[in-house]
Structure 1
Amino acid sequence: MLSSRMMLILQELMAAKSAVTSNDLADRICVTPRTIRNDIKELNSILLQSGGFIESKRGTGYELIIKNSKTFKAFLQKMAKDSNSNMLPSSPEDRVIYIVRKLLLDNYYIKLDDMADKLYISKSTLQNDLIEVRKILTGFKLELVSKPYHGVKIIGDEMNVRFCLAEYLFNRKEIVVNMQRQAAPILPQKDINKIYTIIIKEVKANKIEMSDIALNNLCIHFAIACKRIRDENYVQLAPEDFAGVYSQTEYKVAKGIVTKIESALHVSFPKTEIAYIAIHFLGTKKIAKINLNREEFESFVESDLRAAIKEFIHKVDERLKLQLINDHELFIALGLHLQPTLNRLRYGMNMRNPMLDEIKTKYPLAFDAAVLAREVFNKRLAIEIDEDEVGYIALHISVAMLRQKMQQDVKRCIIVCATGVGSAMLLKYRLQSKYPNQLHVVDTTDFYRLNETSLEQIDFIITTIPIERKLPVPIIFVNTILGTEDLRKIENYLKNRTENKIDFLKEELIFLHKGLPTKEAAIKYLVEKLVAAGYVESSFGASVFKRERLSPTSFGNLVAIPHPMEPHTRETFWTICTLKKPIDWEGNYVQFICLLSIGKNRTSDLKLMYDYLIEIIENKRKVNQLISCEEKDEFIETINAML
């Protein structure tokens, strides 16, 4: 069996294109040249039986020689299998997560030499990994401390430690109701199953309404609580912090569950731990019925929250012109969702959103609207809302927008047909059967009777004969027997599409294959181009960076769509930039940037623009096709063909 240092030496020699000196190997592995020479001597005795050997070349160093490639390959496969059997990570990213889990679970100081040996990496590589580990821990307000002759250990508030455990020990991006997928073994599976069974039974018996995600999170936190209590780590909060919890019905339910879990798992929960579990109920309960009367709604949703929701919806309408201010259903839905959310956030409890990336990509306009909740709730309620919560709010905004679209998108038209009632009715029923939720044919008429027909409530006219005189509504000329081209004309109008599909794209605002190294440099470059061309004022850039600080606008598939907090220009347009190499944009690689300038009082433009963008950013092939374009005219032709 190879030692960790031997594995490192072998990896270095396999990667080297020429001989490597003992001094170079010693520097890379952080040992003395003498140790390297001793390890190579021992390593050679193993390799000689495995199809290879290490040759020492005077004056140049060591070189790996493979005599029998088949035997050597089998040897490497055996080494890899032995490594995988211990569930050791292979990539730097996986290694960082492995280290975080190890530190969280072991609950004592770990020596760096021991960890490096376990991972088959050098101590210097481990030190680099720990830089990333510290970044992760900082996000949970935790600290990695070192103690001479002891190693490193995580310290911090117990609740924050548990939040970190919940994030890195379980697959929080999936809804796993039966708790069968632990990323690391926090408890035996039989204990996990007992916890899940007890919670399900008690929740049903007490008629508590919970979503599957909330139920899953509660099971996770119970499992973590059992592990931490067994290790004598307890939630430590002042009694006054929990004063309002002990009188709640949720505390009684939590106590009942805890009693059964204590008996089943032989663990004892202090009173503060029961209150901690009760907060999970307060933060996840939902109302079984949506059609509440005013008194029921106001008894569930506190007055400060109701006022904050009103201000939030008003701000959405003011900045994005979505016309949601009179949507009573949205107001009720947000209240019922946000009241338990506030109960959680007041105690610093998080709930991950497994749909976040998909929401940001598929509903960018609704997500933009939801981002405004962060500043309203911070100012009104002194509550910090993270991206996961913004994603849930965006879903409610999306529902309201779809509800509004269903009410507004039915177009009213008149059919003008010169060939008689039969063909007119054929045309009418063909259209209404094809577009049942988009089109309402108000009437059919002959051309000579058109003057007698009121067009006040009509969106457009479909006619089978040319109409040359000017009318107050658009005219669509089609054949009596509708063909493909006729249907395309009608569909373009129903979707508010024009023949020119690139209304939002300006040739002078396309910048291809730029060598911009960072997100900040890219935004600054594009803003400077817009200011120099007279499209925007200098305040535009500050607003774009403010929006980025609230929530990054990278959407995956190499795309970022930065934009200002509020409209700055009269018209809506894009500024496009492709990059020579992808850049890191808050955790996502980006090579295609579309800087939006949102037009004032142009809501229809905004919705249409986002429809176009979603068609592109959802399709990685289309994005790569645009990134590869060398010239502006090629880019315009390509994007026009996509929409």
Structure 2
Amino acid sequence: MDRAIDIIKSLSTQSYTTSKALAEQLNVSSRTIRNDVRLLNQELKKNGAYIESKARHGMLLHITDEETYHIYYQNLINSSPIDKDNRITQIIEYLLTMEDSITMDDLCDIFYVSRSTLKKDMKEIREIFEKYQITIDHRANQGLKIIGKEQDLRNCLTNLQKSRLEEISLKDENLEKIISIISAQVNKHHFEISDYSMRNFALHISVAITRIKDGKELQLDADMEQALGASPDIDLLLSIVNEIEKTFHVHFTKGEIGYLLLQISGKKTITTKNISGNTVISEETYKLVTQMLERVNAVFKIDFRYDLELITMLATHLMPLEIRAKHGIAVHNSMADDIRHNVILSYNMAIIACDTLEQKIGVKLPMDEIAFVALPFSLALKRKWKNQKEKVLIVCGSGKASSELLAYQVKENFGNYLDVVGATNRHSLELYDFSNVDYILTTVPIDIPVPIPIIRTSTFFETNSIDQVNQAITDTRSSRFIEYFHKNMVFWSSSDDKNEILKHMCENAVQNYNIPDDFFHYVMKREDIGRTSFGNLITIAHPIHPIGQESFVGLTILDHPIDWDGEPAQLIFLLSMKESGENKMKDFYKAMTKLVNNTHYIELLTKTKNYDEVINILKLVASSDLHTVL
């Protein structure tokens, strides 16, 4: 507030100054002065001073802590004018806490801006308010008045302060007291909550205290009443409220307690510590999780419907998630971008699974929530694929003993990811069923065509033999990734239109593969569910479910980034999995995870001019040593 310094300079610590005198001195209205002083007093009380207002006398400056006040005053003098974002935040906080309506001219005076600047700010403010179902009633000659439910006003106030949480905590002793009370009680009740969520909950309590003291109490509604009667967290909350009431001399009604119960229940962290043999999952929640896993199986052909650990993790996570979603309780996930970049397949599964929940509750989930759901899927994939070793057939020309020796050495050196499924000789290969075999490991030359990779080695493994097998497996996995990319499905484009780009790729796919003519329709259905952009200029589009008899990947390289789901995208991948599923699709996702995390390869791809250049870079990506998870 630019007039703050002028007001402080004009006030005395010895004698009262009237608002009328200040208004005349600063060339604003008396009402503007009163509003300025109210806002300024909130800051002064945190910084060793306050302004006393006395009827028929005026205002008097009191300094309670000389050192703290001096530091604050010097910072105020040296500070630059507030930027646009801070100004908008201050205007919103003012509008949400004012008692009466206010004119645009008065707002211009209070925040020291022109009318044209304020009009632009108000457009953004209305957009922010829409997210909280808050409206601005603007009537001629009456000014602006905020219309909205008290719970929505509080959510807006609290979320505005989140970005300044550390700054507020350093200045606000009361907030630190609240955090200390919460910390003591959550430890006592063994309640799992992150540090960020705890501080965020403290903000809700701080806002509640201020609103209660201003006579803005929450009324008990049906959701709050239900929470009070059924939540396992009620004892924890009552212990917190009891300490808050004693410390701040304020009374929390049932409505206030119900509101805070929804907040803290929505912030519970679900870990394996929370899950025990006594964990009870309601029939409704179990049915919802089953539907989510059925959707995932339909899209990715990976069946988790009998993974009890995943079912339990998802069910217990859905309880607080549903509370947050229904009541607009924001959650912060500091790992969201890392999750999108490093567990691409799991995040994709979470998007599909969460769509089932979104349809049930009628609320779109933010990226932070979806990223949390991706983590249980990532763990489930690790468990599932840990036991799915690639199959090796031994071909040896020296008899059973040498075959068994070779099989033993495979188990000894590669047992974590290779499994010997049998042994045979060269002349029996023509009749062998290779449907359950990934590699042939042979000590003799094989001159007949076989449908799987051949790795040549010696009966007695030496260091170079082990290296050769490792390299052969790496090369095979790399080739699996590359073989999805056909020359007729790699394009370059200057289009700015997302739909146009996808339509062009889909039309070419229909011409080159045995897939339905309405392939584009299925791809767009998936786009409607949730974002397919993964950051770092990469998008992976795909149909809503597997289609056709052959898996393939298309790629369009744009000559400049365009907006895709609110993020810049320049490398547009189109993935289509065959109807029967694709066991080797994990090789694709592993390679894509490497690509998303390597800006050097991304830059090289954006500069390519032909198919061969693209394939050479993709080979480098697939064979790189970057550790990946799913």
> Could you say whether these structures have the same fold, taking a TM-score greater than 0.5 normalized by the shorter chain as the test?
yes
Partner of 1:142: 134
Give distance in 1, aligned partners of 2:273 and 2:120. 53
How far is the alpha carbon of 1:310 from its aligned partner? Answer: 1.5
- The 1:184/1:159 distance shift into structure 2, 3 A limit, reads farther
Residues 216-270 of structure 1 show CA distances to partners (whole Å, capped at 9, x for unaligned) of 4423322332344344444345357524514655334322212211332344333
Partner of 2:382: 402
Residues 427-480 of structure 1 show CA distances to partners (whole Å, capped at 9, x for unaligned) of 965x666545223568999999999x9999875443343244678975310356
User: Is residue 159 of structure 2 the alignment partner of residue 167 of structure 1?
Assistant: yes
Equivalent residues of 2:224, 2:255 under 8 A apart: no
Give distance in 2, aligned partners of 1:254 and 1:139. 28
| Segment of structure 1 superposing worse, 357-366 or 326-335 | 357-366
Equivalent residues of 1:417, 1:424 under 8 A apart: no
Give the partner amino acid of 1:302: S
Q: Residues 468-507 of structure 1: matches in 2 within 5 Å?
A: 468=447, 475-478=454-457, 487=467, 489-493=469-473, 497=477, 499=479, 501-507=481-487
Partner of 1:45: none
Residues 595-642 of structure 1 show CA distances to partners (whole Å, capped at 9, x for unaligned) of 222322233243222222222122222112111123333333333333
How far is the alpha carbon of 1:322 from its aligned partner? Answer: 0.6
How far is the alpha carbon of 1:324 from its aligned partner? Answer: 1.5
Correspondent of 1:103 among 69, 86, 92: 92
Equivalent residues of 1:187, 1:223 under 8 A apart: no
Give distance in 1, aligned partners of 2:577 and 2:86. 40
How far is the alpha carbon of 1:401 from its aligned partner? Answer: 0.8
- The 1:454/1:361 distance shift into structure 2, 3 A limit, reads closer
Partner of 1:272: 255
Give the partner amino acid of 1:583: I
- The 1:105/1:520 distance shift into structure 2, 3 A limit, reads farther
Equivalent residues of 1:568, 1:598 under 8 A apart: yes
Partner of 1:74: none
User: Is residue 577 of structure 2 the alignment partner of residue 598 of structure 1?
Assistant: yes
Partner of 2:285: 305
Partner of 1:364: 344
- The 1:97/1:543 distance shift into structure 2, 3 A limit, reads farther
Give distance in 2, aligned partners of 1:563 and 1:448. 44
Give the partner amino acid of 1:371: I
User: Is residue 74 of structure 2 the alignment partner of residue 88 of structure 1?
Assistant: no
Equivalent residues of 1:579, 1:591 under 8 A apart: yes
Equivalent residues of 2:478, 2:619 under 8 A apart: no
Give distance in 1, aligned partners of 2:273 and 2:183. 20
How far is the alpha carbon of 1:413 from its aligned partner? Answer: 5.7
How far is the alpha carbon of 1:564 from its aligned partner? Answer: 1.9
User: Is residue 525 of structure 2 the alignment partner of residue 546 of structure 1?
Assistant: yes
Equivalent residues of 1:250, 1:278 under 8 A apart: yes
Give distance in 1, aligned partners of 2:610 and 2:445. 41
Give distance in 1, aligned partners of 2:86 and 2:543. 35
Give distance in 2, aligned partners of 1:462 and 1:288. 41
Give distance in 1, aligned partners of 2:601 and 2:451. 39
Give distance in 1, aligned partners of 2:434 and 2:496. 56
Give distance in 2, aligned partners of 1:499 and 1:239. 59
Partner of 1:393: 373
Q: Pairwise CA RMSD of aligned residues?
A: 4.3
Q: Residues 1-80 of structure 1: matches in 2 within 5 Å?
A: none
User: Is residue 333 of structure 2 the alignment partner of residue 353 of structure 1?
Assistant: yes
Residues 29-52 of structure 1 show CA distances to partners (whole Å, capped at 9, x for unaligned) of xxxxxxxxxxxxxxxxxxxxxxxx
Consecutive unaligned residues of structure 1, counting only runs of 5 or more, are 4-80, 90-94, 172-180
Residues 415-437 of structure 1 show CA distances to partners (whole Å, capped at 9, x for unaligned) of 848699999969965x6665452
Q: Residues 434-453 of structure 1: matches in 2 within 5 Å?
A: 435=414, 437-439=416-418
Equivalent residues of 2:403, 2:423 under 8 A apart: no
Residues 312-332 of structure 1 show CA distances to partners (whole Å, capped at 9, x for unaligned) of 212222231112122121112
SS across alignment from 1:552: coil
Q: Residues 556-567 of structure 1: matches in 2 within 5 Å?
A: 556-567=535-546
Partner of 2:239: 256
Give distance in 1, aligned partners of 2:213 and 2:475. 61
User: Is residue 302 of structure 2 the alignment partner of residue 322 of structure 1?
Assistant: yes
Equivalent residues of 1:496, 1:608 under 8 A apart: no
Q: How many residues align?
A: 544
| Segment of structure 1 superposing worse, 336-345 or 488-497 | 488-497
How far is the alpha carbon of 1:406 from its aligned partner? Answer: 0.6
How far is the alpha carbon of 1:484 from its aligned partner? Answer: 6.4
How far is the alpha carbon of 1:338 from its aligned partner? Answer: 1.6
- The 1:566/1:279 distance shift into structure 2, 3 A limit, reads same
Partner of 2:620: 641
Partner of 1:608: 587
How far is the alpha carbon of 1:304 from its aligned partner? Answer: 0.9
Give distance in 2, aligned partners of 1:118 and 1:618. 48
Give distance in 1, aligned partners of 2:272 and 2:407. 47
Partner of 2:225: 242
Residues 489-512 of structure 1 show CA distances to partners (whole Å, capped at 9, x for unaligned) of 545537861546521212222221
- The 1:145/1:99 distance shift into structure 2, 3 A limit, reads farther
Residues 55-104 of structure 1 show CA distances to partners (whole Å, capped at 9, x for unaligned) of xxxxxxxxxxxxxxxxxxxxxxxxxx999824733xxxxx3465145413
Residues 341-367 of structure 1 show CA distances to partners (whole Å, capped at 9, x for unaligned) of 334444443423332222222222222
Identity %: 27
Give distance in 2, aligned partners of 1:287 and 1:642. 34
Partner of 1:624: 603
